[in-house]
Amino acid sequence: MPTEVILPKVDMDMATGQISRWFAEEGARVKKGDVLFEIETDKAAMEIDAPASGVLRDVTGKEGIDIPVGAPVAWIYADNEAYGADVTAAKQDKGPISPPVEEMSAKPTEGTPPTSHSVTPPSALPGISPTRGEIGQSPSGARATPLARRLAREAGLALASIIGTGPYGRVVKADVDAAIAGGGAKTAPAAKAPAGAPAAAAPAVKAMSDDQVLKLFEPGSYELVPHDNMRKTIARRLVEAKSTIPHFYLTLDCELDALLALRTQINAAAPMKKTEKGDVPAYKLSVNDMVIKAMAMALKAVPDANASWTESAMVKHKHADVGVAVSIPGGLITPIIRHADEKTLSTISNEMKDLASRARSRKLKPEEYQGGTTAVSNLGMFGIKDFAAVINPPHATILAVGAGEERAVVKNGEIKIATVMSVTLSTDHRAVDGALGAELLVAFKRLIENPMGMLV
């Protein structure tokens, strides 16, 4: 039998992926370990190797469309292995997941006879039973997984009112959970409450539909750009974060003059190393590198704030792993500096440059952006004075960093000029109370204003 090539799961949250590029064509001879194709998840792009040697056949995984994890995208036939109707029938017995209707109904190119691996028309496909865990469709016409349908039914939600983020727009469990958290259209009015019972809270206002939004604009005055996986995931996670995490915010100002002076001294003392571009400094610290170090050390100084919330217990972390928001085309990602409290500033600086570079080319490994115990988001390079960031679960805190700017400050009754940076700590109030969050932010400020403490 030929070897099945499937779309692998390369990310913990991955349900679908897109093939961004094939490196081998139909009929090409490949060797085990050769790069077959590149897949694009919501966070990264990864090269997938051939699982066997032979001839690549039946390439059904098209570029640029959502493909469920585990779905076959091609087959590899060993040398001298039969290729024809018998083998195709045997493969169909394994029940591969079918492509979209648009793909299945496409006709062969004019003048080219259909081959033995032509896709079967939809009418000839076996019925998909919801009891087998496959994609189902509700009577209202909404595509949904069996679990999502059951949860929606139990919650009294109309599936048609829920926007699906799964493959081909199907409603998945996360969509139902988000609808329950934010309120949604009910299938039937709630039963009348007994006399004297407290009034129920008013349901949350439902978001405008696509048609409602588009009707507000003149036809032809806009273009529609479909959401990619990254943008869909960002939207879903932000809604979940703001709907389920009770945010509160603490802001204070930090003077940067001592930190800037120390940074200049450290950079001036950097040894030179030889590269293809000539001699370059072994490191070059940025203010953000020192912010990462200060945040990590502050968490170690206030260990109760280095936590994550779960319904059954508080997760107290033993290490300070700092995620750093990096802007990339189409969205953002937070690569993580592991054990940042234990690393030198030069190590953090070089590691951050490498992670940011690979993040922008979508070459990060899942373990390089999953997890973490806190995060830093810095918009100071854009001149933003201050802002509040949204917490990225399972973190309980995120630090929003503004620009350093010269301001008038009062010292000993006199007005002085100092370089000041405003920072805002967003915290999950379930895990970090107000006083604890303030203690963490004060510890951070102390390190920023006395930066020599980060060197010992």
The conformation of residue 187, written as its DSSP 8-state character, comes to S
Q: Please tell me the distance from the alpha carbon of residue 218 to that of residue 220, in angstroms, as a whole number.
A: 6
Do the bridges between strand 322-324 and strand 374-378 make them parallel or antiparallel, or are there none, so unpaired? parallel
| CA-based nearest residue to 98, from 168, 161, 39, 34 | 168
Is-contact 342 373, C-beta < 8 A?
no
Please give the order of strands across the beta sheet that includes 45-49: 45-49, 35-40, 16-22, 66-68
Q: Is-contact 310 376, C-beta < 8 A? A: no
Q: CB of 97 within 8 A of CB of 103?
A: no
DSSP 111-160: T----TTPPPPGGGSPPPPGGGTS-EE-TTS-EE-HHHHHHHHHHTB-GG
Tell me the β-bridge partners of 407.
Answer: 418
Active-site residue list: 429
User: Contact, 263 vs 290, CB < 8 A?
Assistant: yes
What is the C-alpha end-to-end distance of the chain, expressed in Å? Answer: 63
**What residues contact residue 321 under an 8 Å CB cut-off, 6+ apart?**
336, 337, 338, 339, 340, 371, 372, 373, 374
Alpha-carbon span 397 to 279, nearest angstrom: 40
Inter-residue contact 165 to 174 (CB < 8 Å): yes
Q: How far is 438 from 132, CA to CA, in rounded Å?
A: 52
Instruction: Concatenate the DSSP letters of all residues of 310-341 into one string.
Output: -SS-EEE-SS--EEE-EEETTEEE--EETTGG
Neighbours of 437 (CB within 10 A): 23
The strand order across the sheet containing 374-378 reads 247-255, 414-428, 397-411, 374-378, 322-324, 336-337
Strands 45-49 and 35-40: antiparallel
